[in-house]
A and B are shown apart, each in its own frame.
Chain A
Amino acid sequence: MLRVENAAVRFGGVQAVNDMSLECPPGRVTGLIGPNGAGKTTLFNIITGLQRPDSGRVLLGDRDLTRLPAQRRARAGLARTFQRLEVFGSLTVRENVLLAAELKRGLSRKGEAATEIADRLLARVGLTALADSQAGALPTGSARLLELARALATDPSALLLDEPGSGLSENESAALGDLLLSLAAEGMSVLLVEHDVELVMRVCQHVYVLDFGELLCEGPPAYVQSDARVQAAYLGAELATA
């Protein structure tokens, strides 16, 4: 189970995340939504160790990760994808996933070989046909799927996805939904940041709504959707950008 307790971080004048707590139990997809600039990506960075929080704790199972650097957290079982892509652009698609699998396996000779893991995962996200292309040349949607495959290659217990559905076609997006549900069914904790409402409604069992860095409300998707404060926050954002 992935837990965040009272995380907070401030950038100059902006309180990007304020006293935010959440729980992401295994076996379900948990949603994290909120208007642009709500602090979702920042919270991901705090969880994965790319952003040092001003306060708060991050726990995976009964392990406190708060003081660990990013790579140790990854080894402890956290994996993520990025909203702003972080694929290894000069490697091929297969090499991207292969590297993650190799790191996970270390030098052990037992079990599935790293190359087999890579090919299996590429097939799972539907990138087999592109396996030998340079990752930097992929269209955004495919690059997001690649990041997903790479994250899976580390065999994580908690998976954090930052807008994996943007740039995907309707069909691809539906396939992504199926994939997330099957990952959860395998016992993974999945935390999903996504603007695609349909996807969130379909796969998430529990949704947290973030606004100005604070928790606005939480609950099952249908409940959250009907909440007046949530509607106001989104309408407010809508009016502000209009």
Chain B
Amino acid sequence: MSTLLALTVAGLVTGCIYALTASGLVLTYTTSGIFNFAHGAIGMIAAFFYWQLIEWGVPTLPAFLLAVLVLSPLMGVVVERIMIRRLGNASLEVTLTVTVGLLLLLIAIANTVWDPLTARRVQPFFGSHQVTVGGVILSYHQLVVIAAAVVVPLALWAFLRQARTGVALRAVVDDRELAALTGASPSTVGMIGWAMGAALAGLAGVLLVSQVELNAITLTLLVINGYAAAVMGRLSNLPLTIAGGLLLGVLQSLAIGYVTISWLNQVQTSIPMVFLFVALLIAPPTRLRVGQLAPLLAPRVPSARRSLQSALVFLAIAALVTAILPAGQVASVTHGVAIAIILLSLVPMVGYGSMVSLCQLTFAGIGCVAMAKTGGSVLGLVVAVLAPAAVGLLIALPTMRLRGLYLSLATLAFGYAMDDNFFSNSSVMTQTLGLPVPRPLGIDGPRPYLLFVTAAFTVCALGVLALRRSTFGRRLVALGDSPAGCATIGMGIRSTKLGIFALSAGLAGLGGALMGGQEGVVGYTDFPLLLSLTLLLMAVVWGVRTISGVLLAALFFELIPHLNGQLGPVGNSVLSLLVGLGAVGLGKNQNGIVGTLLQKTSGLTKLPSLPHPRRAADQGDQPVREEVLTGAQS
């Protein structure tokens, strides 16, 4: 009994931290309309900064205040000013990629400034002082956490009710347009929302840092627990969000306490995912969005004839390159082309349908493992496609009634859980030896295999283009452009969404299997979630609506390690700079590099912006001022 109590209390304390970080997430989302995937990364930076201050001898309280009330809000404001503001009404794939880019950038910065190989420890507040309350031992640190979780929501509540800015904030949350009409500036409110959200992220980070390992990636990904709580609060309801955080903390603590030790790792990291999926299942369906997003330039879809011609030319060049490529380069190019197949899977889903998966590499991994277990026959290749497609269906299913963002959240949680539970599971691949992967169809020799993978890429690319020219392709694009428009022409959107998600997971699986065939052996670190994020960023920055865009993205991605090697120790910072520039640039030019080039060369004029629901004044769309019905006649 007392174990139960102790575990519950410990869980509540952790839950308090989840509740705080989730509240920050909800606050930024509701005030700016942009879901911040870098929320955890902001908390992580605050935690490192706090450690650094302590290290420099700054006393605890000032260090705490500097990290939480100065640095964090400052980060929020800077990010809002530089990256978020101009996103305005951008589509999901853009807003999401920009914050994912920010996440990668912050991790890269942390790893550059604070060498990840050095172990760091932070003492809890008040060291090891503790009290016993009702038979339960509580450290002073835990008391601080509880106090924060009580005081902060109350302060937030008072602020939103009372203060002038708070009232403006609520007005914007209720209705952007109306708020704009009453004089509250959505952009100021967005900035305040980001500052407050970042402060909450920082608070959670600093409270957490003495409890877990001070590691950039661990701290950043812990926020997935916060996402689960925020989904419980439907990304808008603070009390429900806080309740969700507490519940999640308790469940996790009980699971760890009551499930045998060998299962500890599995159970602990799966709970947020299970929790998130339950929250998705019980969430009420989202209403259809009426009001359009800013349109992007849609590259012209080549005709069947035209794409076949390009494919033949491409294959001819590829054959030539394969023949003259220095032997040392073949492996890396093959790997790059396999990555291109994985990125190709993003084209129909992200590029055409504006649905975003954050775990495409996880699907690739599933495909690879599936083929390795079945053997490299034709059957093996089929399984490599079908297995991830089936898994993809299962993940997408609970999110079908909901906004696209929820699907992305589900994929993130899934990728996170797979990292820890599937790929590291010894029955999937041995940790020391990895998993041997055969080359499919017995194609041996590096050059023939490169040709084979290139041919596979070409065939898949032709398939993607054919798909785009079909009814299904039109449905897909329509879905991304205007769900309300789809509904009013009688189009059910569920089957289209599920279909494309499964198809794209399957294609990623094929890419993963071919990549595995190239490597020969894959290990449990070959399909990490963070790499999925990097790949997505690359694809969107280069242009996820075109085949050439993703091909360039894949080749560029392949170049990174070389760049890194060439640049030596500064490589990492140069890279993070590139990532950051990519993310910021994307906010500015949302068509991606290839899209922008196409736009320039084809002489297409810039698209006029369609009605912009977030900004009140727009000429074309504003109802024409009425003529006085009676007066018009005379």
Contacts and interface: CB of A to CB of B under 8 A. Distances in A.
Interface string A59-86: 0000000000111101100111011111
Contacts of B625: 195, 241
Contacts of A212: none
A206 B205 CA distance: 65
A8 interface: no
A150 B489 contact: yes
B478 interface: yes
A91 B481 contact: yes
A74 B490 contact: yes
Contacts of A48: 488
Contact of B488 (A12, A86, A237): A86
Q: Interface SS of chain B: helix, strand, loop or mixed?
A: loop
Contacts of A234: 626, 628-630
A83 B618 CA distance: 13
Interface residues of B, number: 48
10 contacts: A70-B488, A78-B488, A80-B488, A83-B623, A86-B292, A89-B610, A134-B297, A167-B620, A195-B625, A196-B624
A91 B474 contact: yes
Contact of B292 (A89, A95, A104, A237): A89
B174 interface: yes
A167 B611 CA distance: 13
B484 interface: yes
A237 B610 CA distance: 27
B492 interface: yes
Given A69-B487, A70-B288, A79-B489, 12 more contacts: A12-B174, A49-B487, A74-B491, A83-B621, A86-B482, A90-B352, A90-B477, A90-B480, A136-B298, A139-B620, A166-B623, A167-B620
A29 interface: no
A36 interface: yes
A100 B489 contact: yes
Interface in B446-491: 471, 474-475, 477-478, 480-482, 484-491
Nearest to B174: A12
A230 interface: yes
A197 B492 CA distance: 37
A50 interface: yes
Interface in B265-307: 287-288, 290-292, 295-298
A88 B471 contact: no
Interface of B: 174, 287-288, 290-292, 295-298, 352, 471, 474-475, 477-478, 480-482, 484-493, 604-605, 607-608, 610-611, 613, 620-621, 623-630, 632-633
Main secondary structure of the interface of A (DSSP, over half): helix
Given A84-B613, A99-B478, A89 B295 contact: yes
Given A88-B477, A139-B608, A196-B624, A225 B471 contact: no
B481 A71 contact: no
B620 A88 contact: no
B629 A91 contact: no
Contacts of B604: 137
Pick the 4 closest A-B CB pairs, nearest first. A136-B295, A74-B490, A70-B487, A89-B295
B630 A136 contact: no
Contact of A74 (B292, B295, B488): B488
A78 B487 CA distance: 11
A36 B623 contact: yes
Contacts of A237: 626
Nearest to B288: A50
A111 B237 CA distance: 52
Contacts of B481: 87-91, 136
Interface string A91-104: 10001101110111
A231 interface: yes
A71 B492 CA distance: 6
B145 to A, nearest CB: 36
A226 B630 contact: yes
A71 B626 contact: no
A27 interface: no
A6 interface: no
A163 interface: yes
B471 A238 contact: no
A140 B19 CA distance: 46
A95 to B, nearest CB: 5
Interface in A83-140: 83-91, 95-96, 98-100, 102-104, 134, 136-137, 139-140
